[in-house]
């Protein structure tokens, strides 16, 4: 399968202290750069960033990087993204 998103190493504590699923945390770090830090994306994602994180999490799940959640929801702070597991 073609990979569009990297899987950078993210400290578990970064995700835990933000009540964020590790796949979401990894995706946030994957799309961050010098203009938008992971913290900025986590705090106030643009619509495009939200979409990219959703697509990255779907890719991670499809490739087995992270297990699919039973309810297809992946917490992002007080919110959650929904990714339909098409491999189930």
6 falls within a domain: no
27 falls within a domain: yes
> Where in the sequence is the domain holding 67, given as residue range(s)?
12-82
Q: How far is CA 72 from CA 10, 13, 22, 35, 58, in A?
A: 22, 23, 14, 30, 10
pLDDT tens digits, residue range 23-59?
Answer: 999 999 999 999 999 999 999 999 999 999 999 999 9
The arithmetic mean of pLDDT across residues 56-83, rounded, is 96
Phi, psi of 48 (to 5 degrees): -65, -40
1 falls within a domain: no
Closest CA relative to residue 5, chosen from 46, 47, 62, 45: 62
56 falls within a domain: yes
41 falls within a domain: yes
Number of domain units in the chain: 1
CB atoms closer than 10 angstroms to residue 77: 11
């Amino acid at each position: 399968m073609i990979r569009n998103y990297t899987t950078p190493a993210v400290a578990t504590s970064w995700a835990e202290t933000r009540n964020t699923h590790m796949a979401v945390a990894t995706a946030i770090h994957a799309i961050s750069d010098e203009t938008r830090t992971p913290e900025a994306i986590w705090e106030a994602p643009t619509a495009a960033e939200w979409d990219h994180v959703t697509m990255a999490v779907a890719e991670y799940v499809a490739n087995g990087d992270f297990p699919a959640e039973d309810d297809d929801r992946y917490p992002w702070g007080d919110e959650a993204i929904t990714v339909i597991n098409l491999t189930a």
